[in-house]
Amino acid sequence: MASSLAIAGGVGASTAFMAWAVRGRSSAVFGPSRWRGRRDRAAIALTFDDGPSETTPAILEILAQYGIPATFFQCGANVERLPEIARAVRTAGHEIGNHTHTHAMLCLRAPEFIENELRRAQEAIAIHTGALPAWFRAPFGVRWFGVGAAQRRLGLAGVMWTVIGYDWTLKAEAVARRLDTRVSNGAILCLHDGRELRSRPDAGVTVEAVRRVAPMLLERGYQFETVSRLLCPTN
Ligand SMILES: [Zn+2]
């Protein structure tokens, strides 16, 4: 009886461990990954996933208005669909990261599939924007065997987030409130300027959330930095 309980406990613990390893924002089990910057500087990073999309220019406009640099984790397929918008992100001085080519769920995939997803995105971004990403963010935050090796071969480092905005499901004021109440020194905030590979996604909530939260966070004394700057402040 005691031993079967111990076994059951072991299975439960290992299932919980795997769930954290695959999806936990602080997990680096499947490759080096960062999820926040230093706590002794009032600096934060605003990040956007799933772009570029038709919504991206509206976000660029707000960021320009406040002089805020951000980091955009682009999908290669979206870059190929909207190369001029992808390029405009770079031209505006923002950092570009890799968010795979097709926004694939990497869980249970072969290492070759995973590396191909990262490599195709890296190539599309380099060809169309001239930027070579240094950071990789896994779609859905899901990492798997092979991500670490693919990152290493492509010169990428993994990055998750400190606070996620749920801008694909909440209303703009709730997203802004969520970011404003959970932000802290070194926080990496995650929003979405696209919706996976959708064409003309309805990302109005994200635009409105940025419009609300940018002045709120500036007012509180936070300095916005790109992910590279936040995580490697000597750069
Ligand atoms: Zn995504």
Q: Tens-of-pLDDT digits for all 235 residues of the chain?
A: 444 445 555 667 788 888 988 888 888 888 888 999 999 999 999 999 999 999 999 999 999 999 999 999 999 999 999 999 999 999 999 999 999 999 999 999 999 999 999 999 999 999 999 999 999 999 999 999 999 999 999 999 999 999 999 999 999 999 999 999 999 999 999 999 999 999 999 999 999 999 999 999 999 999 999 999 999 977 5
- Determine the distance separating the centroid of ligand 1 and the alpha carbon of 99, expressed in angstroms: 7
Distance 3 CA to ligand 1 centre (A): 43
217 burial type by CB count under 10 A (0-12 exposed, 13-18 middle, 19+ buried): buried
pTM of the full structure: 0.93
79 CA to centre of ligand 1 in angstroms? 14
Q: Please, is 165 exposed, middle or buried when counting C-beta atoms within 10 Å of its C-beta (0-12, 13-18, 19+)?
A: buried
